[in-house]
Amino acid sequence: MSRWSYFARRVLLMIPIVFFGTTITFVILRMGPIDPAAAVIGASGDTEAYTSVRRSLGLDQPLWLQYVDYLRDLFTLQFGYSWVVNRGRPVWELIGVYAPRTIWLGFWSVMLPLFVGLPLGFYAGLNPNTLSDYVASFGGIVWRAMPNFWLAVIFVAVLTQSEQLFGFQWESWLVETNIVTPPELQRLWVPENFFGAFKAILPAALVLGSASMGNEMRIGRTAVLETKNENYVETARAKGVPGRKIVYKHVFRNALIPLVPIITGEAFLLLGGSVLVETVFSINGLGYLFYAATINADLPLVGSLMFFFILLSVGINIVQDLLYTLIDPRVGYGGEGA
């Protein structure tokens, strides 16, 4: 099977996965404990208003017809309007308002572990059984063990009392920001605005990426330890290849191979963890929007966000396959094993 045939097959496999995910979402929403019509009219609504709302929302139609309409709207990207959270506002408009904050949070939640956890893990692997190795290994275990929701509360408490604990006030340090507030993402090309947005998102990004940082540090150390004792590394040493070239060309590149599924797999955890972290830090991103839509049975909003998350998850799998091909020359879309 050729490379492009394999890639086309992977893309086609997305269709049943997306279809199954959206079907499960519909079943859970329609069989959930919250009645959307009751959520719309509130506790003071009478029977006549309740019936009218159900009719206007199409909830009085047969379930199979609601399901067909639900799938048709999703796959044609007709997400409709919010029923409860922001009644009458287009879902696309809400996603456009809330998504940039989640993207900003997710970006730094991935970058910080990559540029902190991964180098520390590689350094510990190159210097085993030293003080730095012990410190990095212990730090990785501690970071990995901390639950996101607990760490978020601790961060808020510590940063609130930063002046008493560390002698400086976090909110006014360098740039004026709040601890629990959405980041301002306007005109990020201005250095002051960029740093302010980065500082505002930094505590939440550290919390959300904490488990990833611990994982990458621990597995990166193990991968380097295993790789640097491989036969091809010993052969390169015997041929007189400089040590730095061996490390960068042979050790680091091959040590990245087992980390690819770890890094891409943690992106799935960021989707779920962002709901808790965004709520604690008042980020008001897609995680918070999804939480609000779920508890209020806002079916168009929940269904659209779940559809978006499903597409993102499936897309990450495709990226994972591409990364394998780029990093490991032995893995590709061609060959009998593909």
Query: Residues 77-106: what's their mean pLDDT?
Result: 86
Tens of pLDDT, residue by residue over 118-170, are 888 888 888 888 888 888 778 777 777 777 778 888 888 888 888 887 777 88
Residue with the two structure tokens 């959300």: 208
The one-letter amino acid at 71: L
8 Å CB contact between 291 and 29: no
Radius of gyration of the chain (CA): 24
Residues 208 and 181 reside in one and the same domain: yes
Residue 211 lies in a domain: yes
8 Å CB contact between 283 and 101: yes
> Which pLDDT value is given to residue 124?
84
Lowest-confidence range among 62-71, 140-149, 176-185, 281-290? Answer: 140-149
CA–CA dist 59, 27 (Å, integer):
14
Here the CATH number for the domain that contains residue 279 is: 1.10.3720.10
CA–CA dist 266, 213 (Å, integer):
10
Residue 53 lies in a domain: yes
Lowest-confidence range among 17-21, 144-148, 275-279, 309-313? Answer: 144-148
> Which pLDDT value is given to residue 7?
64
Query: Residues 99-119: what's their mean pLDDT?
Result: 84
pTM of the model: 0.75
Q: Which domain holds residue 71?
A: 20-91
Token pair, residue 67, equals 């399901």
Of 46 and 186, the structure prediction assigns the larger pLDDT to 186
- Which of 257, 277, 295 is a domain's end point? 295
Helix (H, G, I), strand (E, B) or coil at 171: helix
Query: Residues 25-49: what's their mean pLDDT?
Result: 73
> Which pLDDT value is given to residue 333?
45
Residues 74 and 198 reside in one and the same domain: no
- Average pLDDT in the chain: 79
Residue 229 lies in a domain: yes
Helix (H, G, I), strand (E, B) or coil at 90: strand
Residues 65 and 147 reside in one and the same domain: no
> Which pLDDT value is given to residue 266?
66
Residues 117 and 36 reside in one and the same domain: no
Query: Residues 46-50: what's their mean pLDDT?
Result: 73
The confidence band for 74, taking pLDDT boundaries of 50, 70 and 90, is: confident
